[in-house]
Amino acid sequence: MAAVALAGARGEGASGATLFLPERCYIPGIGRAGWLAGEGVASLANFVRDRAGGESSASALDADEYAMFAQVGRKRRVNAGQWLFRRGDAGDAMYVVSNGGVALDFGDDLVGKQLEPHAFFGELGLLIGDHLRSADAIVTENSELLELGHDEFEILAKRDPHLLAQFLRRAIMRVVLNEQALIARLRHRNRELQGALDSLRSTTSLLDQSEALARTDELTGLTNRRGFGLHLDRCLSEGSLGGHVLILVDCDRFKDVNDSHGHLAGDRVLQCVANLLRAVAGANDIACRLGGDEFCLLLRGHGREEAARITGYIAESARMLVRTHSQLPQMTTLSIGACMIEGRGDEGRWEHWYARADKALYRAKRAGGDCIEWQD
């Protein structure tokens, strides 16, 4: 037998294997140059592609082929439920169903096959060296099979090379069809996977947007109370709240703005305060609208002197905006209360530090507003 390479072959077999064929195996329709060796394989592949009529015709022997196989094949009676081979078993023989039935299970959610009389299977175990079975074969009813090994195959090549060539063409046709079906399944699964990934990315993006919206104040775009609470929880769990500066900001006589100029004017004031806090907040700081006209700024890594400069800038900027827009208010003066968060920041939990800053804010409000108070 001659050995030729059959790249990409998949049927009940593996790809990139070596195909063993009789030394003189003439393929009708290819011509005298089509003896199966070298460029004959390419000719055969083209011939199969041109002549392939479907897997049903490629999977069963015709009457003449079956008669030829029956002359040399070893008859084997098998019972329902009997395993002929399992996936991964070494294979060196092929089978033909004389009567009864055999089922092939390829696993991995691939479509199985139910084989009826005159169907052949396991041929790659005969034609390919070091072949491992790619399917489980189980007898579905009491059956009779023909079993052929290398010796029987050589006898067939000597008796009727023309008819054997026809069978080989049919066997390779099935390999090609199975390869095409596998490629189609892989492409379909790839499209399904791509669709699932696109859907997952879209859903993740929507969830991220929803989460961001849930943590953001709709009017000002600052972090809201919920988002600020999540930030504090993270700082407390990391033990990194110490060294922060907590600044509470409250709009002076904000109710007068709403009563005299309407809620749209009040909204503009809140947005202006938010822009001011956003302008002074660094990458590691967080500005928050706690609710109503109360804001919060949590500064990280700033000493008392630097924090005092920032609070002074906020208060003075607010005064300038009040003077600039006196007719239609864009801003109010601000009352500011602040404190340094010392140690690990977990003394009395967060409420301790908030109460200290709030006490300072209360003093600023009691003093008439437009001032800064620290709670040491």
Return contacts of 169-173, CB within 8 angstroms, 24+ apart: 169/27, 169/44, 169/47, 169/48, 169/51, 170/57, 170/58, 170/61, 170/65, 171/11, 171/58, 171/120, 171/123, 171/127, 172/6, 172/9, 172/44, 172/45, 172/48, 173/48, 173/51, 173/52, 173/57, 173/58
**What's residue 9's pLDDT?**
37
346 — pLDDT class (breaks 50, 70, 90): low
3-class SS at 141? strand
Of 72-76, 213-217, 279-283, 307-311, the one with minimum mean pLDDT is: 213-217
**What's residue 45's pLDDT?**
45
Is 293 a residue of the active site?
yes
Sign of CA dihedral 309, 315, 319, 321: positive
**What's residue 204's pLDDT?**
82
Dihedral angle over CA of 356, 357, 362, 367, nearest 10 = 110
The percent of residues above 90 in pLDDT, for the chain, comes to 48
Q: Which residue has the higher pLDDT, 38 or 271?
A: 271
In 215-302, alpha helices (H):
225-238, 254-261, 263-280
Of 6-10, 48-52, 90-94, 123-127, the one with minimum mean pLDDT is: 6-10
Q: Which residue has the higher pLDDT, 139 or 17?
A: 139
Taken in order of first residue, the domains within the chain and their CATH numbers are: 2-184 (2.60.120.10), 225-374 (3.30.70.270)
Tell me: pLDDT of 311 over 90. Answer: yes
Tell me: pLDDT of 170 over 60. Answer: yes
59 — pLDDT class (breaks 50, 70, 90): confident
**What's residue 52's pLDDT?**
41
pLDDT tens figures, 216-269: 999 999 999 999 988 888 888 887 888 899 999 999 999 999 999 999 999 999
**What's residue 58's pLDDT?**
63
pTM of the model: 0.51
For residues 261 and 328, the answer to whether their CB atoms sit within 8 Å is yes
Tell me: pLDDT of 167 over 50. Answer: yes
Query: Diameter of the chain by CA atoms?
Result: 116
Q: Which residue has the higher pLDDT, 351 or 297?
A: 297
15 — pLDDT class (breaks 50, 70, 90): very low
Q: Which residues contact 234 (CB under 8 A, 6 or more apart)?
A: none
**What's residue 35's pLDDT?**
37
The mean pLDDT of 261-279, rounded to a whole number, is 95
**What's residue 78's pLDDT?**
96
Tell me: pLDDT of 26 over 70. Answer: no
For residues 112 and 63, the answer to whether their CB atoms sit within 8 Å is no
Tell me: pLDDT of 327 over 60. Answer: yes
In 3D, which of 67, 68, 84, 65 has the Cα closest to residue 76? 84
Secondary structure element (H or E) that encloses residue 13, with its range: none
Q: One of 293, 346, 358, 370 is an active-site residue; which one?
A: 293
Q: Which residue has the higher pLDDT, 178 or 92?
A: 92
Tell me: pLDDT of 281 over 50. Answer: yes
The mean pLDDT of 15-40, rounded to a whole number, is 41
